[in-house]
Amino acid sequence: MRKTPPPPELFDKICFVIHWGCVEIRRLIQEGRHDQAFDLADTVEHIPCYLPSWRDEFLAIIVDSFQRYQDKYENKVFDYVGLLLKNSLAYQNDYGKWRGNR
């Protein structure tokens, strides 16, 4: 089976949610919200294993995992699901600066 990564913009979105997830985990630990930090770590930790041999169904798995996390915690700082599902134009407008694309 040929190994292929996700499409470039989706790869960028996935990298961003991994990055932001790590930032949020650090903040949650500093605030003493360890259970939420553990749950977010569980949500993020499996994502890199999908990247080398991407299949379209992996996006639904990742989105579902973040949706379950977001449903559990109303005090979320960042809308992971919203970013992953954001259309290309809105994503580039809102987050293009993430990769210097502005």
pLDDT tens-digit series, residues 7-24: 999 999 999 999 999 999
Specify the 3-state DSSP secondary structure of 78. Answer: coil
CA angle 11, 14, 19 (to 5 degrees): 125
Rounded distance between C-alpha atoms, residue 17 and residue 54, angstroms: 17
Which structure tokens are listed for 58?
Answer: 């992996």
Please check the confidence at residue 99 and state whether its pLDDT lies above 70: no
* Size (the chain), residues: 102
User: Is the pLDDT confidence value at 100 over 90?
Assistant: no
pLDDT tens per residue across span 50-98: 999 999 999 999 999 999 999 999 867 789 999 999 999 999 888 876 5
- Spatial contact of 47 and 18, defined as CB atoms under 8 Å apart: yes
